[in-house]
Each structure stands twice: as structure tokens, then as C-alpha cells.
Structure 1
Amino acid sequence: MPNQAAALELAAVTKAYGETVAVDAVSLKIPAGTYCCLLGPSGCGKSSTLRMIAGHEFISAGDVMIGDTVVNDLPPAKRGTAMMFQNYALFPHLSVRDNVAFSLKMAGIGKAERLRRADELLDLVDMAKYGERLPSQLSGGQQQRVALARALVTNPTVLLLDEPLSALDPFLRIRMRAELKRYQREFGISFIHVTHSQEEAMALADMVVVMNDGRIEQVGSPREVFNAPRTTFVARFMGGHNIVPEGGRNYAVRADRLKLVAATPPQAANTATVTDVEYQGMTVHVAMTRKDGTELLATLAEAEFDRSPVKVGDVVAVAWQPADRHELAA
């Protein structure tokens, strides 16, 4: 059985490479048993943060606490964490079973016990029948399951996942994220998952941490972060929002809340010229530009678009409800 779940806390954690600050005094509390996604563009500091938690990266300043223990000076194997790497890092010359059992072997656990534990984990991830195969004889999704079993076999209190789905094709990625969520619920421990995919974070996380330029921009549930972005960066990065300047302030309005009507007359307030129409199956995306240069995007249901179709070059009036306008921090 897994260890008891533990809370994780970062207190002003900083990582500097010479003059370059990759992670800038990040403070964060992740409750025990949480699926947390660190989300942001390349270079935002999310992977460096994960590696400092794991003990694979030296902490320049601040503290990492797991449960009641400050783990800054503990080696990775003593922290109660396990890491699942982006490329899975399976040993090519070892069988699947021996790959999963390897860390237990290093810990001095007897052969019978470590193979029993390995078989138990392989059964959990539906890979028991592949135990004697080599990693090269597996598909990408199967390799991912083996890497997950190998990480979980040590009974970690926190599992760390570095872009674990990025090597998979889109269809498999969707299936595997559902499995990751299921394993997290079954084990009851915290999963801390680094990703640059907004869709992945929203599908998986209880808690989304949006990072930018080494700092945390916003923390919240997926719905909180998407529906109430605090900053222009979060609104733009999460996508699906228009940034609308009005009265010297910036507002976010979701693209699916915009309504389009024929502009009569074309000089009416809040008009825009259609610059692109993109069919997406269930929805149609209409891109527009206002006279002040503000770019807008409306996501319309297919039937709604068909009732009042527009084409490139049309001038339309754009409207939304006041309640759909969300003010952004300066």
C-alpha cells in the first residue's frame, strides 16, 4: 500500500544559475492528495521547481517541506518522492519486471519481495502480461505505464511527473491522462505534474499553478483559473479569452460569450471587421479586428453561426453581457 499522503510546501524557493533567476521566491502550499499541475510556457520555471522538489536540482534559497520535514538537504531517495521523467528513462537492457523492481533492488529489498511488489504494480497498470519484455518491444503508452509502475513501487508520498504525456500521439494522450487521474485517486497521494498544455492541466488538475518568468501568476481550480483569470498573461495563456481595453482598464471576455449581429449602421459603437472564419465542427471561430486595433475572437455554436453567417470583410456589431466582462489586474 502507498505511504500516507503528505502535504507539500514551498517557502520562497529560488533557483539561480549565475545571474539568471529561473525560479524567483516561489511560495506554494499543495494539500495532501491533490492532483496539481504546474502550467506555463517553456522557460517559465516549472520544471526547475519540480526538480528542486525531487532533489535533482540544488535550491539556491528557500525551503521545500514534505509533511513536517524540510527536505532541502535530503537526497532524492530519502524525500518520499518519486519522479516520472518525460522520456520515461527505462533501462533498455532490463525486462519490464526488472525495470519496475530496480529501485527496490537498490534499496536492498530481497528478490522475492521486490518481484512480488513489481508484479503487483504491473497488474495495477494493466502490464502484468508484458513483464518479460524489453522496453523496446513496447508502444509509447505501454512504456509510460511501466514508468508509472516503477515510480509508484517505492510507495512515494508525492509523485512528480515531468511532461509525462508529451511523447504520445494525441489520441493516446487523452486516454492516458484519464488513467493518470484514476491512479492518483486510487493511490490517494499528491501528483505534481508539469505541463505546457492548458487542456491537459484543466482535464487533470484539482489545482492549477500558472507560472510565468519564474513566478506564480495564479493558483486555483481549473474553473477558477479559466473563468476568472487574474492577469492579462493568464487570460492569454489559458486561451479562449478576449482582452478588451475600456476606460483605461483591461477586461477579459470569454470568446464563447460574444454575440455578433449585422452592424446597422456600420459606424455603430463596438463594431469590428471579420478577418477570418474557421470551421471547427461543433463550433465556428470568427476572428475580428476593431477600429482601435483590438483583435477579438468569437466562438459560436455551428447552428448559431448558420442562423446569421458572416464572411471575411463583413462589418459586425459585437456584444456581450456586462456580467461576462472580467477585470484583469494591472
Structure 2
Amino acid sequence: MTKLKLSELLDRWHALAEIPVNENEETVVPFMDFAAEIPRATIFEWFEEQHACFSAGNAMQGNFATIFDKKFRVSIEIETDLRNALQELEANGVDASEVGGSYLEEVSREEIGYALDEAKIKLLKGFTEGNDAREYGECRYSFEVEEVQTTTPISPEHLQDAINEHLESAVALVLKHMDDYGLKEEDNQGLAIVNRIQDVMKAVNGIEAAHIKTDKTVPVIISVTAREGAELDEDDETIPGRYLIRVPGNIPEEHLAAAALDAFHDKIPIGVLDDFDIVTTDGRSGEEIFDHASTGGYEWSHLNLDVDWLDAAPEDDPLMGSAGTSSPAMR
């Protein structure tokens, strides 16, 4: 096995999450130096042996997150109050009229520097807040450390609730303005604005999961075989094979096959469709899936999904198979 850096292992670990498997949890395509039909658990265990950040147990449950996937946000707020500096100067007999803005700015920068140094010490000790008083003025600060959640999906319901809350507030403000000034419909455009906002609310409530962009994908395998006795058209001779389509993860399960098939037929021109048997498989489980609600009108072709012929995938693709016959012509 080729020796890889940890950063390279992390890339391949996350690529492994999309490797399609059969009903026996065996890979259906080669991965790295592993041949096809290798139990995924074997590959998980190999990664676990390379570094402690990989967990075969978590991966078996579908969790490929590692300690390196965590992101943190540190927020620091500093507030300066230079009245103490003024009092200190007055106590030393300095005429306040001689104190200029440049001096106060210098003192502020000094105080902020003290606060940052103090915050750094307390942050390293695990404290979450603190305050600090200095000879020339007072400087308060607070800081918060939080883990950034990057994997929580946005649900349509959450998005609708958030937008509707703002729209309802806008309606309330418009109506309050009309009421405060005794305005009527014929006197202003207030009700027209309210009606427009309500139209937007109707559109928001029609949002579905498929409308929300996501980087998560579901691997779908399309297997194409020539029917027995079929005399293939010359242009169709390279069609038989297995194809990979990565369907966006927010597409409803019942439409996975339709989305993949639309992409396949959009990219792979077949002269005589009746010469072939086409089987669509969920790459996660190896189970056959079906087009339950197809209208026959390329409903999902607007997604413009890539179609990879598994035997001709690029060398840097983790789903690459061994090179075989020439790939079919794609649009």
C-alpha cells in the first residue's frame, strides 16, 4: 500500500463514504489499492491502523467525522473606558484641557494590548470570561469559544420558519404604521405591500428539500446490458457497462432513480433503447431502486449531473475502476 500523508488519508477517508457497496457491504468498485468486492469493514480497519483519528466503529454507523473536521469560532469583545485615565491625570495635577485625542488613542491601544494578553492567558487555561483593570483606565473583555457545526442539514421547515418570522414582523410593522397614522387603503400603498409580502410567504411555504443546495451526494449505479440476441447499432456497441451518478443528497428517496436516469439519458445517447436492459441501484445499499414517479419528461435534467463510466473514471477519482474498453460517447 502506498504510504500517504495524514492529510491525504483524510481526503480518501471522506471519499470512502461515497463508495457504493453491495448487499454484503462489499465495495463494488476498486478503491485506492483495494480491489472491488472487499468488505468495507476491512478498509475501515486499515484506516484505523494508520491513525487514531479514524474510527471503524463510527464509520460502520455512517459517521466519518474525525477530530480534524471540527472547526472553532473564537469571539472576543473588548470595551475600553478611559475615564480612569482622566482621573489619574487630574490626580497628578495635569490640566484636562491639555489632554488630546491622540493621547487617548494611545492609551486605548495600550489597554487593548493588555486585555488581549490577559485574554490569551485565560483562554489557554480554559476560562470563558474575565475583566481587567489597569493603571491608565479600565478595559473589560469577554470571549467565547464555540464549535462550528458544519454538517447539520438545513430542513425546509427550519428555513420556512426563519423566513416567515421575518416576513410576519414586516407585515406587523406596515400595519402598525397604517394604524398609527390613520391611513386607509385608498390613502397609501400599505395594503399593497402587505399583499406582496403574503405572496412571498406562500412561495416560502412551498420550499421543498430539493430546493436547498447541498454538497452531500448519494451514489447511484446504472448497469446497462445488451439483451440476448440484440444486434447492437454500431454507435451503441460501447454502451454496456456500469455508470456512476452522484445525486444530490436532498433529492427525496423515491426520486433518486428518476434523477439518475434523467442524467444518464441526457448524457448517454442510445440509438435503440429496446436493445438494452437498464438496472438502477442505490450505491449505499446495493439494492435496486425504481423510478416511481417519472413523467417521462426529463424532470431532473436541470440538475446537470455528471455521469461517470466506472471503467473509465479519471485516475484521481476514488471510484475509479480498472481501465477496460473504450468509454461510450457522452454529450
Provide TM-score, normalisation by structure 2: 0.22
Provide TM-score, normalisation by structure 1: 0.22
Structure (1/2) with the larger helix percentage: 2
Rg larger for: 2
Structure (1/2) with the larger strand percentage: 1
